[in-house]
Structure 1
Amino acid sequence: MSAAISDDDGTNPATSEFSLDDHVFDAIIFDCDGTIADTLPVHFLTFQEALGEVGYTLERDWYFARTGLSSDKLFNAYEQSFGLTLDRPTLLARCKLLYQNHLDKLREHGFAATIAREQFGHVPMAVASAGMKSAVTSTLQTLDLLELFDTVVTIEDVKHGKPAPDLYLLAAERLNVAPARCLVFEDTEEGLEAAHNAGMRAVDVRPHLTPSA
């Protein structure tokens, strides 16, 4: 497969062609939110509604400036920004329920999703996401992508989220593939750093994402 892309080496996407044939790998690991699935509008509505139910507001610009954070890190940032303390367990439980209400708004990101479909059955593949397991699984099921992956690793499976390497290392372990032989597709600086910290080569998919409405 060939497509214009900017890899994590800083190559100009306008003049470079990306091809999987240029990479040596035995497995592929995808981030979920923002990489293979356009979940940003859904997560924004989910957090906005959950916070609204307890009397707080969530501005679009504030949230979109912090995409890629796990729920826990997002709540940390919210508390620090506005000088308050949130009821984490209650909010997280509510977010799990509210997310399911907006699954109809999900869209896939074609670049990474196409690669996953084309490589299905050829190499082991996994998803490694900082999201909650229920949300990630529902997302992949809704987009008819779940069956493509040998394993799905989420924040609930590890002690440390991105940029720590835990998610990617666990995915490689489950795939029974050495980290250095894994190729990662990511859309955030934290995610790319996590892949690098795991000793994996990472592709930045952001030049190929269509902005959410």
Structure 2
Amino acid sequence: MPDFTLADHDFDAIIFDCDGTIADTLPVHYLTFKEALGEHGHTLDEAWYHARTGLSSGKLFAAYEQAHGVTLDRDALLTRSRALYENHLDTLREHGFAADIARSQFGHVPMAVASAGQKSVVTATLRTLDLLELFEHVVTVEDVSRPKPAPDLYLLAAEKLGVAPQRCLVFEDTDEGLEAARAAGMDAVDVRPFTIGEK
């Protein structure tokens, strides 16, 4: 694992992505989507899903339709996925690298979560991991008109924190998310080198 120190970064606030950054939600989401699709007679290949992590639910279902030549009732699947998610929270784990940074900075700098997920799901994730109270704000895809890689989520988080975007440090795990943060004018850290092989 590479070395990392916060002292190398100049910031007044920190914004974290959720899925894949502070929470290892991949197993939970896979089981959730697999179950929801299965109820409609569709299968979900694990390798296919893993190759598309970081996509919002809507984009994932669109990719599934294109790949499999089917038409899905996306709204119904989204609603069902939200309901099923909490059934699989026992498989949820944190990513210690970013979660430990959030704990260490709590009370020192304002912090927020900016996620492409649904608010009910993101809130349930953070609450299950006992991380929710660390963040002053949680903004999700429902709060903006354009998801990542547009900068809207990160700009909204900065606005709610009352900190200029250029003074925000972002932790992200996807190319789309990093692009969004940089488009917002923020310093961004790719957490993937620090979470490989993490248990």
The two structures have a TM-score, normalised by structure 1, of 0.91
The residue number in structure 2 matching 1:7 is none
Alignment partner for residue 185 of structure 1, among 171, 178, 186? 171
Aligned-pair identity in percent equals 74
SS of residue paired to 1:111: helix
1:122 aligns with 2:108: yes
1:209 Cα deviation from its structure 2 partner = 1.0
Q: CA 1:50–1:147 in structure 2 vs 1: closer, same or farther (change >3 Å)? A: same
CA RMSD of aligned residues (A): 1.2
Greater fraction helix: 2
1:134 Cα deviation from its structure 2 partner = 0.7
Q: How many residues align?
A: 199
SS of residue paired to 2:133: helix
1:142 aligns with 2:128: yes
SS of residue paired to 1:126: strand
- Structure 2: give runs of 5+ residues left out of the alignment: none
Residues of 1 paired with 2:30 and 2:154: CA distance?
25
1:210 Cα deviation from its structure 2 partner = 4.1
The residue number in structure 2 matching 1:86 is 72
1:128 Cα deviation from its structure 2 partner = 0.3
Structure 2 letter corresponding to 1:202: A
Structure 1 letter corresponding to 2:141: I
Whether the aligned pair in 1 keeps the contact of 2:95 and 2:198 (CA below 8 Å) is no
1:89 Cα deviation from its structure 2 partner = 1.2
Residues of 2 paired with 1:211 and 1:100: CA distance?
25
Q: CA 1:25–1:212 in structure 2 vs 1: closer, same or farther (change >3 Å)? A: closer
Whether the aligned pair in 2 keeps the contact of 1:124 and 1:149 (CA below 8 Å) is yes
1:211 Cα deviation from its structure 2 partner = 4.7
1:97 Cα deviation from its structure 2 partner = 0.5
Whether the aligned pair in 1 keeps the contact of 2:12 and 2:110 (CA below 8 Å) is yes
1:51 aligns with 2:16: no
Alignment partner for residue 60 of structure 1, among 46, 50, 59? 46
1:33 aligns with 2:19: yes
Alignment partner for residue 73 of structure 1, among 59, 84, 108? 59
- Structure 1: give runs of 5+ residues left out of the alignment: 5-12
SS of residue paired to 1:101: helix
